[in-house]
Amino acid sequence: MKRTAVLIILGAFAFAQSASAQTLKTVKDRGLLICGANGTLAGFGLPDAQGKWTGLDVDVCRAIAAAIFNDADKVKFVPLSAKDRFTALQSGEVDVLVRNTTWTSSRDTSLGLNFTGVDYYDGQGFMVRKSLKVNSALELNGASVCVQQGTTTELNLADYFRAHNMQLKSVTFATANEAVKAYDAGRCDSYTTDASGLAAERLRLANPNDHVILPEIISKEPLGPAVRHGDDQWFDIVKWVLFAMINAEELGVNSKNVDEMLKSSNPDVKRLLGTEGNYGEQLGLTKDWVVRIVRLVGNYGEVFERNVGSGSPLKIDRGLNKLWNKGGIQYAPPVR
C-alpha cells in the first residue's frame, strides 16, 4: 500500500516534469550529458585506477554523448544506488539512466519510465564446485544454495526449485560479499545471482578454476537504458544510439574501419553512416551521428568484448547477447 502511494507520487512528479521536457535542448545548452550509472558493478559501471568510468552501461552513455557532441567525454556520471535511481531520473537529476536496470512492465508503466532497448540480456544462474560433478541446475535437488537476502534473486530461486519439485536449502546473507565468502568457505553447494555477477564473483574465489557456472538461466533480466515519459524525441535518440551500435556490428563497421566504410557502396552501410539519406537529422542529430558513435566508442560487439567479454577479466560468453544472425537475440531495426 505504502509502496503504491510512493509510486503514485513519483508518477505524478514524473508527469509534472515531463510536460516541459525538452531533454535534447537542455543537454545541448548544458554542453554535457548527465548519465545515471552504477559505479560499483564490474563490467557495467566502475571507475578505474585513474578515476575514469568504465563499463558496458557507461559506454552506452558515452555513445549518446558522442552522437550529440562528437565528444565521448562530454558526459557526467552520477553514481546511483538501486534505491534512488528512479527518483533521480524522474526528478531530472539525470538525463538518462543506464544502470543495469531490468526492464519490467511495472517500471515501464507506473514508474513513468521508458526503456529504450536492451544492452545486455542477463539472467539468474548458478555456480557450483566442479568436484560436485553437477552439469545442470536440475541436478541441484537437495542442494544448499547461498543467496543474498531480500532480492528478486532469492524469490526466483525458491520459484525455480518449487516449479521443478526439488528440495531447496537456501542459506541467506545480507550482502553479496558475505554470500560469496560463505560459498567459498564451503557452507553451500551452490551460489546464485545474475550470470554477469557470477562471472565477476568467481574471480574473487580462492580457486576460480575449481568452480563452474551452470548453463541454466532461470530468470529473464533484460538490462537497458531508461528515460522519462513524455519526451519522445529524447526517447528516440537514446533508443537509436543503441540500435546504431548493434547495426554497426551487424554490418561490420567498427572503430578501426569506420573511415574506410564511409566509402562503402553497400546501401545499408551508406544509410547507417549517413553517406546516403538524412536519417540523423530526422532524429535531431547530425548526418554522421553513427560515425561519431563508432569512431569514438565502438560498435556493440567491441564495447561488449572490451568491458565484459574476452577483452576483460570477466570473460563472459556472449551467449544471448550474440547478434540474431550469430545465434543470439540482439536484433536492431534497420536505419532507413
Partner 1 sequence: MRRSAAEHETTEIAFVRRTPLAPQPPPKTMTGALGWLRANLLSTPLNVALTVGVALLLAFAVPELVRFLIVDAVWTGEGRDACLESVQHREIGACWPFIWERLPYFIYGSYPIPERWRVDLFFAMLAVAIAWLMWLDAPRRDLGVFYAFVVLPICAYVLLHGVAAFGLPVVDTVLWGGVLVTLVVASVGIACSLPLGIMLALGRRSRMPAVRLLSTVFIEFVRGVPLITVLFMASVMLPLFVPQYLEPDKLLRALIGIALFASAYMAEVVRAGLQAIPRGQYEGAMAIGLRYWAMMRLVILPQALRITIPNIVNTYIGLFKDTTLVFIVGIFDFLRTIEVARIDPKWATPVTSTTGYAVAAIFYLVFCYGMSRYSRAVEARLAAGESR
Using CB under 8 A, list all residues that contact partner 1: 13, 39-43, 46-53, 76-81, 83-84, 87-88, 90-93, 177, 184, 200, 203-209, 312-314
Closest CA to 161 of 137, 191, 179: 137
The residue count of the chain comes to: 336
Residue 40, Cα to own-chain centre: how many angstroms?
A: 14
- Residue 38 or 156: the one with the smaller Cβ distance to partner 1 is 38
Closest CA to 160 of 133, 183, 136, 178: 136
- Residue 78 or 213: the one with the smaller Cβ distance to partner 1 is 78
Q: How far is the CB of 138 from partner 1 (least distance, A)?
A: 29
Q: How far is the CB of 40 from partner 1 (least distance, A)?
A: 6
Q: How far is the CB of 54 from partner 1 (least distance, A)?
A: 9
The string of DSSP codes covering 1-12 is -HHHHHHHHHHH
- Residue 78 or 166: the one with the smaller Cβ distance to partner 1 is 78
CA distances from 46 to 36, 40, 155, 282, 319 (A): 12, 5, 27, 34, 23
Q: C-alpha cell of 17? A: 516534469
Q: How far is the CB of 313 from partner 1 (least distance, A)?
A: 4
Residue at grid coordinates 538524412? 278
Q: C-alpha cell of 35? A: 548519465
Sign for the CA dihedral angle at 288, 292, 298, 301 comes to: negative
- Residue 175 or 278: the one with the smaller Cβ distance to partner 1 is 175
Q: Which residues have a Cβ under 8 Å from the Cβ of 158 and sit 6 or more positions away?
A: 168, 170
First to last CA, the chain: 46
- Which DSSP category does 204 fall into? T
- Residue 71 or 288: the one with the smaller Cβ distance to partner 1 is 71
The Cβ-side half-sphere exposure at 259, using a 13 Å CA radius, reads 2
Q: How far is the CB of 136 from partner 1 (least distance, A)?
A: 26
- Residue 9 or 138: the one with the smaller Cβ distance to partner 1 is 9
- Residue 48 or 260: the one with the smaller Cβ distance to partner 1 is 48
What gap in Å lies between CA 69 and CA 300, rounded to an integer? 20
Q: How far is the CB of 73 from partner 1 (least distance, A)?
A: 10
Q: How far is the CB of 201 from partner 1 (least distance, A)?
A: 8
- Residue 88 or 212: the one with the smaller Cβ distance to partner 1 is 88
Q: How far is the CB of 32 from partner 1 (least distance, A)?
A: 9
